[in-house]
Amino acid sequence: MAYTRLMSRVIAVANQKGGVAKTTSVHSLGAALVEAGHRVLLVDLDPQACLTFSHGIDPDALETSLHDVLLNRATATEVLVKVGDVHVLPASIDLAGAEVHLLSRTGREYVLKRALHDLLSSYDLVLIDCPPSLGILTINGLTAADEVLIPLQCETLSHRGVGQLLDTIEDVRAYTNPGLGVRGVIATLYDSRTKLAQQVIDSVPEQYGLEVLQPPVPKSVKVAEAPSLGTSILTHRPHSPAAEAYRRLAAQLAGDEG
């Protein structure tokens, strides 16, 4: 079945390396986009459900989640949770089981894309928090997306796996989503006191041919505190350097700058 892309833009946020502030970036960018007046949907595609938890939603208390949507037990509209002005398709640990079920389904790469289709006209931007793996759930996220955004930790081992992710993106382009673009890299956990952090940023365009969006997001304990409070850094510390960085990055994603 052919699907026509509606006006909303779908951005998959992916990096199979854990601990790179992927979920924090989705949460914070979503909050910044809503703050700027955009209609935003956040999709938690990670069985760890950290994005869900970060919005003050208890994954263990959910009657239905994205797991049920992917298995055709519920529609995305039925599962949608509103947290203030942000809309979330929540995850639970059950989502890990969905991956097993999807492997035996025809057209398994397109399940998320089909599930989101009827929602797209209601949003300006959809951000998908992909799991830290290159399995069928991440393939679904990439197949449903217009673009990929890659959070990259400003440390020595941050490059590990980026080449693999780019290879996977090329496979997705070849088989399920030829129009998939790479928006660029967000430099996270940035420590301006070290030369290493800037060296990591400088090496990305040369090594991978990817744009590093500016500014980098500084490392901050306040960013780490926010999820436990069920809020983002923009609410927890609205005038912090990290909050301002995410606002500027969100403006670029939305095309509000320049």
Q: Largest alpha-carbon pair distance within the chain? A: 52
Cα gap 82→71, rounded to integer Å: 22
Rounded to 10°, the helix 162-175/195-208 angle is: 30
Classify domain 9-254 by CATH architecture.
3-Layer(aba) Sandwich (3.40)
Cα-Cα-Cα-Cα torsion 35, 139, 19, 63, nearest 10 degrees, comes to 70
Read off the pLDDT of residues 148-184 as tens digits, 9 standing for 90 and up. 999 998 876 667 778 889 999 999 999 999 999 999 9
Read off the pLDDT of residues 30-60 as tens digits, 9 standing for 90 and up. 999 999 999 999 999 999 999 999 999 999 9
Detail the DSSP E strand segments found in 94-253: 125-129, 147-153, 181-188, 212-213
Answer whether residue 186 shows pLDDT above 50: yes
The mean of the pLDDT values for the chain is 91
CB atoms within 10 A of CB 161: 17
What's the predicted TM-score (pTM) here?
0.94
